[in-house]
Structure 1
Amino acid sequence: MRWATLAHIHLDRVASPWLVLRFVDTSAEFEFVEWGLDGALPDPSRLELPEDSTPIGMPGAELSLHDENGSCFRKILDFYGLDCPALWRMERIIAAGISDALGLPRRVDETEEERTLGIALNLLGTALGVAFDDPQHLEHAIPLYDAVYEHCRMRELPVGVLAGAPSLPPLRIPYLREALRSGVSNPTPQDG
């Protein structure tokens, strides 16, 4: 399926294609629609969408840009009924990054971890946008968002499982992988 979003992707318009690719349409192809350089959001009626594409992260689209109803990422979660707790945890990180990028006030319930990771995604997204054009930016950002998702999955593990993780990476990584794979509350470290 073809999907379209505004060119010069950043944060939410990288996270949302990641979400589509990983949980909605694994064969998704993305088109990037150019828009004005006047500093204003584009008029939806003036955007030229690729034929047969589903718009995301665009003004006027059902799965639109961040607004009072939340991020595009959140809208995709809602629209497709994705109720994975790790994805909703990830949405909070993305929302924190959007707030930072737009200079908006922090949410009252925003954690330091959400803020830190959100700011990091904002800064890294800017750097990826400078280093690469949109298709390459998205390609290089996919592993980054995969890692954020795995972090969020780990945060969903019981506290005792996380506390029981060995400190040395050769033991910690297999332990956490096993905990995530099996859902076992007390995974045993495997030889690395």
Structure 2
Amino acid sequence: MPAPNAISSEKLARIIGTPRAPLLLDVRSEEDFATDPRLLPGSIRTDDRDLAALAVQLGGQTSIAVCQAGHRRSQGTAAILRAESCPSEYLEGGFEAWRTAGLPLIDPAKLPARDAQGRTTWVTRSRPKIDRIACPWLIRRFLDPRAIILFVAPAEVIGVAERYNAAPFDIEGVFWSHRGELCTFDVMLAEFGLSIPALARLATIVRSADTARLDLAPEAAGLLAASLGLSRMFSDDLEQLEAGMLLYDAFYRWARDSTDETHTWPTNKPKAD
């Protein structure tokens, strides 16, 4: 049973990728980080000696501290943040327990540089439909929950990326884009090593809807219809993204928890004698 203010790797793994996931704070020492510089999905490196400033940034947001083995660094970080009125827990067993359990880890070297507030910035074409909503959802749920997503005219994506140190995605000729039959969502999963069965199932649906191959997944037609509907409901791309986040949250939870569930009507029909 976890200690007070602790969370197990198993429980945390169920929360990551959902809207209620806390901010993960990697407070491992530089020496420990150097031995394995990967991060838990969605986590950021944090200096555990400057937590008062971090508490101001968090503004009461819930967090989970992760150190190498779940001892003084993470427990101290969580305790100090709680004292600063920011709910916080620590990962029981720390990074070692998570890694030993074979749970997903990402390579932060593939992320764009972070700004002064620790956020990554990504830029793509305006008027998104499928991949350009699916990828921001993946970024915010599994890579950087505070990521800045920019939508600009297609001709300006590269210039904006260079000017504002952002990662361009889902346009031709950049790293984060389609490769062969794979869409950008597929590429991000592969490059970051996010080998999560529910994400793999969702990727097939996204690829099917995004590349007009609706035969790949029966759910793709529904995603396409909903995506096109959202694109016509919203003239503001960021408003559309916020609505699309809920759509992909639902598809992800279905892919993770409900693929075997069916629904019939009426549900209370009397059984035949």
Matched, 1:27 2:140: no
CA contact (8 A) 2:214 2:220 kept: no
The CA RMSD over aligned residues, in Å, is 2.4
% identical equivalent positions:
28
Match of 1:14 in 2: 133
Aligned residue runs from structure 1 range 95-134, under 5 A = 95-100=207-212, 104=213, 106=215, 110=216, 114-115=217-218, 117-132=219-234, 133-134=236-237
CA contact (8 A) 1:93 1:118 kept: yes
Q: Secondary structure at the match of 2:211?
A: helix
Match of 2:159 in 1: 48
Matched AA of 1:93: I
Match of 1:150 in 2: 253
Distance, in Å, in 2 between the alignment partners of 1:86 and 1:105 is: 19
Match of 1:184 in 2: none
Q: Secondary structure at the match of 1:32?
A: strand
Give the paired residue count. Answer: 142
1:136 and 1:67, CA in 2 relative to 1: closer, same or farther beyond 3 A?
A: same
Distance, in Å, in 2 between the alignment partners of 1:99 and 1:78 is: 18
CA shift digits 1:104-153 (9 cap, x unpaired): 574xxx3xxx23x2111112111111111210000011011000000000
Q: Bigger relative contact order, structure 1 or 2, given CA contacts below 8 A and separation 6+?
A: 1
Structure showing the higher helix proportion among its residues: 1
Q: Secondary structure at the match of 2:176?
A: coil
Aligned residue runs from structure 1 range 28-107, under 5 A = 28-35=147-154, 47-50=158-161, 51-64=164-177, 66-100=178-212, 104=213, 106=215
Deviation at 1:86, TM superposition (A): 0.3
Matched AA of 1:92: T
CA shift digits 1:32-58 (9 cap, x unpaired): 1202xxxxxx6x9x8422411011112
Alignment gaps of 5+ in structure 1: 36-41, 169-192
CA contact (8 A) 1:33 1:48 kept: no
CA contact (8 A) 1:33 1:47 kept: no
Which deviates further from its counterpart, 6-15 or 67-76?
67-76
Runs (4+) off by over 3 Å: none
Distance, in Å, in 1 between the alignment partners of 2:180 and 2:221 is: 20
Matched AA of 1:16: C
Q: Secondary structure at the match of 1:49?
A: helix
Matched AA of 2:125: L
Distance, in Å, in 2 between the alignment partners of 1:98 and 1:153 is: 21
Distance, in Å, in 2 between the alignment partners of 1:16 and 1:105 is: 19
